[in-house]
Structure 1
Amino acid sequence: MLQVEELSKSYGKFRALHGVTFSAQAGEVFGLLGPNGAGKTTLLRILATLLHADSGTCTVAGHDVEREPEVVRRSIGVVNGGMGLYDRLTGREILRYFAGLYGLSRAQADARIETLDASLDLSGTLDTRAAGFSTGMKQKIVIARAVIHDPPVLFLDEAASGLDVMARRALLDFVLAYRREGRLVVYSTHVMSEVEEVCDRAAVLERGELLTVDTVPGILAQTGEPSLERAFFRMLQVRAEQRGARA
């Protein structure tokens, strides 16, 4: 469902990604784990056709992101922490509008909205203007908007950022349900507990380099640490020591 080969990207002298290679499958929640500046958002923007890589290749749902960007865009949904809504529209109007952009009829859009209401609990948002939404209500509509066309691949970039406990719970439950339907969810975060709860496997990035790809138990076994947080910091420590030895 997702294949990344030797992907590299720099901004001037800053190396955001360096030779990143991994694959992720349908029916999987695949985590991207790393500190701020690790390259997670750059990677997702390349996969979503919003940035061009300097080198390497990526395919999403069998389509090359450089050669078939329009097909890739129809195959994905994207959610990040900074996506806004038009205040004068209700949640239902927002979802109908985006459904129309993807070619859904009014009947198809309304049926899809009912399905998403059942899974995301959109009550209170559908017939209320977005100007009156809480942060959690906004994020629910943003997620519903991203998947209104039922894409096989969903990219979530710090999607739980700023959510209260109830909205965060709804998001994590939705991620697990979306994966169970044979789709791929790529879940980027620096919150270890979220990775432990929802991710089948995770890639650990640091300074644009891929440190490992494994299950959470596999990462713990690699480092000999009892928690993902401790394992993560152990990996960063080992990489820093390796850099120091090479200097």
Structure 2
Amino acid sequence: MPHSTLEVFNLSKAFQKQMLFENVNLQIHSGEICALVGKNGIGKTIFLKCILGYEPFDDGEVTIAGHQLNNREQIRLHSAYIPSDGHDLCDLLTPLEYYRFIIAVYQLPERETLHYASNLSVQLGIESHLERLMKELSFGTKKKALLLGALLYDPALLICDEIFEGLDQSSVEAVISLFKERARNNRSVLFTTHLQDLLEAVSTVVYRIENNQIMQIAK
């Protein structure tokens, strides 16, 4: 039976004296692939950061896999975030070194996890880049390398900000396939996109940010 992987209760957030969200409620269940759409600059990225605890909000409550945001250890175990611009914290590592770091942090079985990473790298078309520094990778390749790292510890909730931007068609199809595989395994995905043609192909639920609210517009 589906259970909630993300619950947002009455979330409110103002930024530079402008209200972005007001009393927003949202629930994502296991097995759902949820798209979040809205105009550029309307606050999609800030919302994602709020629900992960990376950005403070003014009022409301958020739980991920039943855990409050102040339980950072459990939030770290049950969620993963791929930012729209990648991040530079691992730029001086190769993808393979980054995956070994994840294995150590999450105490994963090394041999099996590296084998899984190898298979995923082929699926994502980055197998020839695993020993290059992250900072040397193209925008799209780095995104795929970060996505692979997030999948290694199998979080209940995967959050991706504009994951499809900068990817070629074969990479887009590979990411869609991975999203659908996660849904089949009762994991949840929340992603933002401005590519309207992807919504029907990928998502099971679509939400729109508009007028300080987040509304479900399709299922």
Query: What is the TM-score of this pair, normalised by structure 2?
Result: 0.87
Unaligned runs of 5+ in 1: 217-247
What's 1:80 paired with?
A: 83
Partners of 1:54 and 1:134 in 2: how far apart? 37
- Structure 1 position 148 matched with structure 2 position 148: no
Q: CA RMSD in A?
A: 2.0
8 Å CA contact retained: 1:9, 1:54: yes
Greater relative contact order (Cα 8 A, min sep 6): structure 1 or 2? 2
Q: Give yes or no for the alignment of 1:100 onto 2:104.
A: yes
What are the residue-to-residue correspondences of 1:43-58 with 2, within 5 Å?
A: 43-58=47-62
User: Any idea what SS the aligned residue of 2:186 has?
Assistant: coil
| 2:204 is equivalent to residue 195 of structure 1 | no
Deviation for aligned residue 1:77 = 0.9
Unaligned runs of 5+ in 2: none
Structure 1 vs Structure 2: percent identity of aligned residues? 27
Structure 1: distance between partners of 2:106 and 2:112:
11
State which of 109, 114, 118 in structure 1 corresponds to 2:118.
114
Tell me by how many angstroms 1:23 deviates. Answer: 0.7
Distance 1:82 1:172, change over 3 A: same
* 2:11 matched residue in structure 1: 7
Contact map agreement 1:39 1:206 (CA 8 A) in 2: no
Q: Secondary structure at the match of 1:74?
A: helix
| 1:44-93 Cα shifts (integer Å, max 9, x gaps) | 1011110222111111111112x323311221111122113545533212
Query: How far apart, CA to CA, are the structure 2 residues paired with 1:175 and 1:143?
Result: 11
CA distance in structure 1 between the partners assigned to 2:121 and 2:185 by the alignment: 17
Q: Tell me which amino acid in the other structure corresponds to 1:173.
A: S
